[in-house]
Amino acid sequence: MKLIHLLCIFLIYSTITTAQTQEIYSALTVKDTLKQSANSVIRDENTEVIIDAIDKMTIKLSRVITVFNNSGLKQVGAYVHYDDATKIKDLDFYVYNLVGEEVEHFKKRDFKDQSAVSNGTLYSDNRVYYFDYKPKSYPVTVKFEYELKTENTAFIRPFFPLDRYFQSVEKSTYKIVNNTPIKLRYQTQNFERFSIEQISDFHFKATDMPAIKSEAYSPSFQSFVPSVKFGLNEFNLEGVKGKANNWKEFGLWRYNNLLKGNDQLPKQLETQVKNLVADATSTKEKARLIYNFMQDNSRYISVQLGIGGWRPMPAKDVFDKKYGDCKALTNYTMALLKSVGIKSNYCVVYSGSNQRDIDPDFFSMQGDHVILQVEDQDEDYWLECTSQTKPFNFLGTFTDNRKVLAIDDTGGKIIQTPSYINDYNLQNSTANISFNGLDMDAEIEINSHGTQYDRKAGLDRVEDRIVQRYYKNYWGNLNRLSITSYNFSNNKDDVVFTEDVKLNAEKYLKKFGNDVILEVNPFNQKSFSAKDYKNRSNPFEIERGYKDVDEYIYNLGNYKASDLPDNISIKSKFGDYELNFQLTDKNILIVKRSIEIKKNKFQKSDYKEFTAFLDDISRSDQTKIILN
């Protein structure tokens, strides 16, 4: 009788457990709050990291995700990277029907295995397994599981329960088991607004996190979602052991183990470089000559093989082969500068147009790119060594205004790259305009600086059809546009890109009865993509800012402008706008326009005022004058 009672309890418990387990696989049980703005929802994600030695780490991941549409399918993330130091043990992909019953199971042999790098990479052992699943209908629930073992403990993946827009989270856990005496550190960020439980020092649980919508002018996603970073004070990187307690010691380890000894140059090259700078009288002039020499005599090719993914190719090999990756070319340039007595620092950075810092408060393997800082008495110079065309001391938007790890033989330190903000990013244009009937003929000169230079430089290196297409898109407000001629000047010394363009636009003037309508701003009308949100969720940011100054000189010919509009002035905390009109006694209409959008960070409560400011500018840019 007692046995029967125990059996009944076991059956009841098993039934309840099975029902609860099946519930996370059923698309019918997703909470309404997690469906809002979501293309997919993570139902149950579990990551476990087990550290057994300085060079032995196991990572286990199980992710159950319900997908609502094609966009959600791209969020499944059914892939895992590996290389010679990382081995995939288990790899599975399951599919469940609407009520949570398993209908398909795919194993490692069903996954595709391919190189994880682009064609621009010469050597790499980085590969990826991925599963490309196409469901017959939505919603569908899938589970992705893997287990991998790696020798590299310099990287411990962070916990990002929310790692993309339009995906919600029902439950996500992350746990590290450290079976070594090595100190393990962690740092939390942005927990305040989210439901996250810290079960222990290295065990976290996130629940019921609604999807976040992508909104115009939002700061980078990682800057406001919750995360946890982890790091060991003793670690292994591709067979190289390391130990550090701060950024200074970490930088010294990188220098001694990854950089030291790679700066030797052939004697004939040292002589050539010394002759190159013999007549130069300043550090800046010498550094510029050497940077130009490096650009003219080498090219970028990625190398990501073992420790070679972190240790630069020796400088003498770069000279012999005439190529290298960001590490090799930066180290090579550093060696060239050193040969004439100029000190420079190897700087690790996060690259990309979205500015991201190396975390100054948490030392670890961070960054995805390397640049060079040249020291001088009065100022420092910054070099992007992977580019054959970038001006000296100009980084552009790829690595501007962010914290980087600078490394030399004394260790590491966090420093800031130059920022290009507001009126530094100037575009100045002057146009002389005349009319033949209703058609417009114009000659316009545009000078672009700062990030606006960065956007334009390169036009002088592309073929005619691309230039023609660029202008027809850029001046999309002009119907029947014909570019009759153009000339470009790329002044790298002053970082100014100049465009001289002659064009014709048919029927630019619009005739209504006896009146002819002239839109006063033909070449720089702003149409901002600032969507109006009833309930904005995120703060917003103008990351760099810019300024445009335009002067349009109209020879009105037989036309007369009887009444000019009032001058327009708009000022706000977001920027300034001016539009002024002048009619000379020679029937010349001069329109002067300026707009400055200022870098800053703002609360979401400011967004309505911001869109009103942009709308006022857009309306002003469409100001018209009646001619007769």
- Is residue 561's pLDDT more than 70? yes
Does residue 199 share a domain with residue 258? no
Identify the band that residue 58 occupies on the pLDDT scale cut at 50, 70 and 90: very high
70 lies in some domain? yes
For residue 191, give Cα distances in angstroms to 162, 194, 196, 226, 236.
11, 6, 7, 5, 30
pLDDT digits (tens, 9 = 90+) for 181-217: 999 999 999 999 899 999 999 999 999 999 999 999 9
Domain of residue 534, residue span: 422-627
Q: Domain ends where: 416, 434, 457?
A: 416
Does residue 293 share a domain with residue 320? yes
Q: Looking at residue 527, what is its pLDDT?
A: 79
100 in the Ramachandran plot: left (φ > 0), alpha (ψ -120 to 50) or beta?
Answer: left
Q: Looking at residue 118, what is its pLDDT?
A: 56
Identify the band that residue 480 occupies on the pLDDT scale cut at 50, 70 and 90: very high
Does residue 465 share a domain with residue 402? no
- Is residue 122's pLDDT more than 50? no
Strand, helix or coil for residue 168: strand
Q: Domain ends where: 237, 268, 300?
A: 237
Lowest mean pLDDT among 85-94, 301-310, 344-353, 396-405: 301-310
Across the strands, what pairs with 167?
A: 40
Distance spanning both ends of the chain, measured CA to CA = 108
What CATH number is attached to the domain comprising 85?
2.60.40.3140
Q: Looking at residue 6, what is its pLDDT?
A: 43
- Percent residues over pLDDT 70 in the chain: 94
In whole angstroms, how large is the CA radius of gyration of the chain? 30
Question: Which residue type does 113 have?
Answer: D
pLDDT digits (tens, 9 = 90+) for 490-514: 999 999 999 999 999 999 999 998 8
Task: Report how many domains make up the chain.
Answer: 3
Identify the band that residue 531 occupies on the pLDDT scale cut at 50, 70 and 90: confident
Q: Looking at residue 10, what is its pLDDT?
A: 39
What CATH number is attached to the domain comprising 375?
3.10.620.30
Q: What is the mean pLDDT of the chain?
A: 93
DSSP letter at 271 equals H
Strand, helix or coil for residue 252: helix
Does residue 229 share a domain with residue 195? yes
- Is residue 8's pLDDT more than 60? no
**In degrees to the nearest 10, what's the CA dihedral of 22, 23, 24, 30?**
150
Q: Domain ends where: 188, 204, 237?
A: 237
What CATH number is attached to the domain comprising 621?
2.60.120.1130
Q: Distance (Å, rounded) from C-alpha 540 to C-alpha 606?
A: 9
Q: Distance (Å, rounded) from C-alpha 139 to C-alpha 72?
A: 10
CB neighbour class for 323 (10 Å; exposed up to 12, middle 13-18, buried from 19): middle
Give the burial string for 356-366 (b: 16+ CB within 10 Å, else e). bbbbeeebbbb
Measuring CA to CA, which residue among 101, 146, 106 is closest to residue 128? 146
Lowest mean pLDDT among 47-51, 84-88, 286-290, 462-466: 84-88
Cβ-Cβ contacts under 8 Å for 234 (sequence gap 6 or more): 54, 182, 183, 241, 242, 243
Does residue 384 share a domain with residue 480? no
Does residue 262 share a domain with residue 358? yes
Q: Looking at residue 514, what is its pLDDT?
A: 86
Helix (H) or strand (E) holding 16: helix 2-23
1 lies in some domain? no
Helices 267-276 and 283-296 meet at what angle, rounded to 10? 130
Does residue 316 share a domain with residue 225? no
Does residue 347 share a domain with residue 267? yes
Average confidence (pLDDT) over 115-128: 65
pLDDT digits (tens, 9 = 90+) for 292-338: 999 999 999 876 544 556 889 999 999 999 999 999 999 999 999 99
Identify the band that residue 3 occupies on the pLDDT scale cut at 50, 70 and 90: very low
Average confidence (pLDDT) over 42-49: 98
Identify the band that residue 180 occupies on the pLDDT scale cut at 50, 70 and 90: very high
Q: Distance (Å, rounded) from C-alpha 477 to C-alpha 620?
A: 15
Displacement of CA 205 from its chain's centroid (Å): 29
Helices 326-338 and 283-296 meet at what angle, rounded to 10? 140
Q: Contact at 8 Å (CB) between 290 and 277? A: yes
Helix ranges restricted to H, 438-589: 450-456, 464-474
2 lies in some domain? no
Q: Distance (Å, rounded) from C-alpha 354 to C-alpha 156?
A: 23
Does residue 376 share a domain with residue 477? no
